[in-house]
Amino acid sequence: MSNVPADLKYVKSHEWVKKLPDGTVLIGITDYAQGSLGDLVFVDVPKAGRKLAAGEACAVVESVKAASDVYAPIAGEVVDANPKLVDAPETLNTDPYGAGWLWKLKPANLADVDALLDAAGYEKVLAAL
């Protein structure tokens, strides 16, 4: 069974969202997603200043097996991208919920985060796979 931290929100396309005290959110891919992809060799994330629509494909994670799009769980403006991933994409494999975050977003509406799946809801999605 995949690791599904209870303090995060999730979407069915296997991204997670973590609220930060300053009103921004971190976004990354779940343990299930990184495990399905295998050893990641390349990551391309959106640049600061880019405005994203909810559900928009905005990043790519590439493993030796396949490349996969990553989708924006909610709408907002990118305020930062994780610089570590350029030189160390494998961070996504070793720490998908910590150092392996993809980008930081200023949500268009912070309440959108609350509408996402909680850990129990995401575990049901995984159970159905």
pLDDT tens by residue, 54-63: 999 999 999 9
Residue 3 lies in a domain: no
Q: How many CA atoms lie within 13 A of 59 on its CB side?
A: 30
CB 68 within 8 A of CB 44: no
Per-residue tokens: 89? 């994409």
Sheet hosting strand 25-29, strand order edge to edge: 9-10, 15-19, 25-29, 103-107, 76-81, 51-52
CB 52 within 8 A of CB 105: yes
* Number of domains forming the structure of the chain: 1
CB 13 within 8 A of CB 118: no
The pTM of the full predicted model, rounded to 2 decimals, is 0.96
Residue 4 lies in a domain: no
Domain CATH number, residue 102: 2.40.50.100
Residue 2 lies in a domain: no
Residue 90 lies in a domain: yes
pLDDT tens per residue, range 64-118? 989 999 999 999 999 999 999 999 999 999 999 999 999 999 999 999 999 999 9
Structural domain for 61, as ranges: 9-127
d(CA 64, CA 85): 16
The reported pLDDT for the residue numbered 1 is 57
